A and B are shown apart, each in its own frame.
Chain A
Amino acid sequence: MELQLTEVTKSFRDVNAVDHVSGTLRSGVYGLLGVNGAGKTTLMRILCTLIRPAAGKITWDGQDIFAMGGEYRRLLGYLPQDFGYYPDFTVQDYLYYISSIKGLRTVTAKRRTDMLLEQVGLSQVRNKKMMKLSGGMKRRAGIAQAMLNDPRILILDEPTAGLDPKERIRFRNLLSELARDRIVLLSTHIVSDVEYIAGEIMLMKDGRIVLSGTPEELSDAMPETVWNCMVAPNRVGAFLRDYKVANVRNLKGSVQLRIVSAEAPTPDAVADIPTLEDVFLYHFGEKAGEEDVSL
């Protein structure tokens, strides 16, 4: 069970959405972390054979995935970022329909649907129309459809986008449960989504995988130090301008800053152990804070 990417490249006009990406994915959870526009979705769509790469090759156990066609897609479960569904279908009908296009027999489809509805906590709403579900429920229905064929490769593109923190935690736990004996590739720009469940994290920037490894390896490999320091409130602006600030915490009369820097930003700054969020900040700089990265 090995998904091999070799120099995979895809451009849209002058933009290299995916730029010579290589790597090998085996059983386990992989987190694809990057800011919006890093190329995560394009890479995932290529892995789902929805887009053909301009160059490079992707193989599954040595076979070209595009040549495998339906046989490859049989192994695939995909939850797109922009998850579309049929609003007038009930949850059950939706899953039965997806089962049919996935080639599941009726008996299997019913069994898998029952099991997954239970697993994702949608059994009670199985006869409700999709359009009546909450955002979190729709995402869970999305996960269920991706899991219907018990896929060897599960690709989830920004699965927690738009979910509240409670749903996000629920989703993470669900994913951990589903991740056994398969390749799970999860893209996100939210560090905490992958920090606890991904065995390996790949940082993607401008179409390239700039760094990959376990969360600990990524933290250890960070060339700069994380510092905690107290500053006067009127100096916060200057620090935000001059340093990569991971966190700003207001205390009584002063502000505690968490800064990623090679040198101590203040004489009394105390070095701390870097977290994955710090690594993310180091690599993506100010872009890392564009969306709720600290969640």
Chain B
Amino acid sequence: MFRYEIKKVFARTGGKVALAMLLATLLIGCRLAAGDYYVNENGDYEYGVAAVRKLRALQKEWSGILDEEKLRLAIEEITAIAATPQGQSKDVRESNIAFSWGQATYEIRLLLNNSFADDFQTNDYYRAQSLTPDDAKSFYSNRVRLLKEWLADEQKGAYYRFSDAEKAYLIRQYETLATPFYYDYTGGWLRLFDWYPWIAMITVMVLGYLVSGIFAGEYQLRADAVFFAARHGRDKAVAAKVWAGFAIVTGIYWMMVLLYSAFVLAWYGADGMACPVQATRYGWKCFYHITIGQEYALEVFGGYVGCLFISGLVMFLSARGRSAVVAVLVPFVIIFLRSFLGQADSKIVGEIMGLWPDLLLQMRGTLAYFNLYELGGKVVGAVPIMLVLYGVLTAALVPAIYRAYRR
């Protein structure tokens, strides 16, 4: 039964087209992720594996504990490059040459920009070159200071956005983060995270299309009478449909994620897995204490939970409504609704949107958002809540789909 349910999905022309779309998505995603470049000493751009290797080798020179000494050296190098004629030049090629000298410290420069920003929410690319080596000692304390200033600012800050407990939680998270960071080249992971949400979103939309027909198809093809009049038409055959749906979601999702991950990490290397996310330009403000490797795990498992939930919802609606028309729209609605409602000036809507299932498909963004919830007097970030919430809801959908369809 199970095998034939899967065969039904992929025997259709629509099923084959969907697979082709997924393959195209994977190829485009890999191509986009492989777009990193290296600028040579002449100021020319180089692309491809060889360029990536050069950039990686340069940045690896700075791997290790990012302590005051290393930061001091980095500031010295950045300011020295900025002081050269090329660093001062308005000419593109000259600027590119200066950039090529600074590629080794490029990621550290971005961290310095964050640390020494004027306030928590601004960022100036040229800030690092105006620092002195002595500034290095306040690199980590700035992070906490800027947060505290932001939380206390009634005008432009987040004074009214968080409760006292939430503010205390954020400050505690910042203060207890282990420093100095272990720093390494993380190009592979950063590129992987760049395009993962795009791949996950297209995958979930295609999966929604694929699984929407599992239940509605019997009615659409008018095969329901024979199906339900069969001995197992209201028990095992329905269960086979449910499992086939989740098996398709599982198989395709992991195939997409693992092939994409394997390609990107093979292209760039998997260095930096043990670095805290705060040691990267995107994770500097993150209040979760996790490493890059843990972020990857959250990305892919969160995406899996999101795919299971959204596809499960599609199956439930198609089983209940006996039509795929409405059900197939569910992934689109889920993905795009937050773009509209997310702007609403309502605390309740904001809190709901902070747990919206599409956030599971773009975990890097979710980890960066300051979405906090108070549960039983305890402040918790959105990520663990979402993983539990949608895990439980997905588990609840399994019997719900079964009951909705079995008559």
A70 engages B232 (CB within 8 Å) = yes
- Complex contact A101–B11 (CB within 8 A): no
Contact B221 A78, beta carbon cutoff 8 Å: no
The 0/1 profile, CB within 8 Å of A marked 1, for residues 202-237 of chain B is: 000000000000000010011111111111111111
Chain B residues near A78 (CB-CB < 8 A): 225-226, 229
Query: At the interface, yes or no: A14 with Cβ under 8 Å from chain B?
Result: no
Cβ of B8 within 8 Å of any chain A Cβ, yes or no, is: yes
Inside 8 A of B233's CB, which chain A residues have their CB?
A: 73, 101
Chain A residues with CB under 8 A of B227: 101
Tell yes or no: B47 within 8 A of A by CB. Answer: no
A167 to B84: give the CA distance in the assembly, Å. Answer: 93
Q: Are A101 and B232 neighbours in the complex by a CB distance under 8 Å? A: yes
Cβ contact within 8 Å between A85 and B221: yes
Report the Cα distance A69→B407, complex, angstroms.
12
Chain A CB within 10 A, most for which of B11, B222, B223, B227: B223
Q: Look across to chain B and name the residue whose beta carbon is closest to the beta carbon of A82.
A: B222
Determine which of B12, B222, B228 lies in contact with A88 in the assembled complex, contact meaning CB atoms within 8 Å. B12
State whether the Cβ of A100 lies closer than 8 Å to any Cβ in chain B. Answer: yes
User: Which residues of B, 183-204, contact A by the 8 Å Cβ criterion?
Assistant: none
Within the complex, the shortest CB–CB distance from A47 to chain B, in Å, comes to: 9
CB of B137 within 8 Å of the partner chain:
no
The answer to whether B226 and A98 have CB atoms under 8 Å apart is: yes
Q: How far is the CA of A82 from the CA of B8 in the complex (A)?
A: 20
> Binary interface profile of A, 63-91, with partner B (CB < 8 Å = 1, else 0)?
00000011001101011101111111100
Say whether A74 contacts B225, CB under 8 Å: no
The one of A45, A87, A98, A101 that contacts B225, using a Cβ cutoff of 8 Å: A45
Of all chain B residues, the one with the shortest Cβ separation from A97 is B4
B8 touches A101 (CB 8 A): no
Q: Would B223 and A85 count as touching, CB distance under 8 A?
A: yes
Interface size class of A (residues with CB under 8 A): 20 to 34
Chain B residues contacting A218 (CB-CB under 8 Å) are none
Taking CB atoms, residues of chain B closer than 8 Å to A145 are: 226
Q: Is the CB of B235 within 8 A of A84?
A: no
A145 to B231, CA, bound (A): 13
With a cutoff of 8 Å between Cβ atoms, the chain A residues found around residue B225 in the complex are: 45, 48, 50, 78, 80, 82, 84
- Does B57 make an interface contact (CB < 8 A)? no
* Residue of chain B at shortest CB distance from A45: B225
Q: Does A49 sit within 8 A of B, measured CB to CB?
A: yes
A100 and B1 within 8 A (CB): yes
Given contacts A83-B222, A84-B225, A85-B223, contact A98 B7 (CB under 8 A): no
Q: Are A86 and B223 in contact (CB under 8 A)?
A: yes
Most chain B beta-carbon neighbours within 10 Å: one of A69, A76, A98, A101: A101
**A96 contacts B4, C-beta separation under 8 Å:** yes
- Least CB distance from B229 to A in Å reads 4
Given the contacts A73-B230, A100-B1, A84 and B7 also touching, CB distance less than 8 Å: no
Residues of B within 8 A of A149 (CB): 231
Q: Which residues of A contact B1 (CB under 8 A)?
A: 97, 100-101
B224 smallest CB distance to A (angstroms): 7
| Cross-chain contact of B4 among A82, A84, A85, A93 (Cβ < 8 A) | A93
- Asked if A103 is at the interface (CB within 8 A of a chain B CB), the reply is yes
Chain A residues near B231 (CB, 8 Å)? Answer: 70, 73-74, 76, 101-103, 149
Q: Name the A residues within 8 Å of B229 (CB-CB).
A: 48-50, 73, 76, 78
B226 touches A80 (CB 8 A): yes
Chain B: minimal CB distance from A41 (Å): 10
Bound-complex Cα distance A89 to B12 (A): 9
B11 contacts A103, CB within 8 Å? no
Contacting A70 at CB < 8 Å: which of B7, B12, B222, B234? Answer: B234
- 8 more CB-based (< 8 A) A-B contacts, given A78-B225, A82-B225, A85-B223: A50-B225, A73-B230, A73-B231, A80-B222, A89-B7, A93-B7, A98-B230, A101-B227
Q: What are 28 pairs between A and B in contact, CB < 8 Å?
A: A45-B225, A48-B229, A50-B225, A50-B228, A50-B229, A73-B231, A76-B229, A78-B226, A78-B229, A79-B226, A83-B222, A83-B226, A84-B223, A84-B224, A85-B223, A86-B11, A86-B221, A88-B11, A88-B12, A89-B8, A89-B11, A93-B4, A93-B7, A98-B226, A100-B4, A101-B1, A102-B231, A146-B226
Give the 8 A-B residue pairs with the shortest CB-CB distance, closest first.
A84-B222, A88-B11, A84-B223, A80-B225, A97-B4, A101-B237, A101-B230, A78-B229
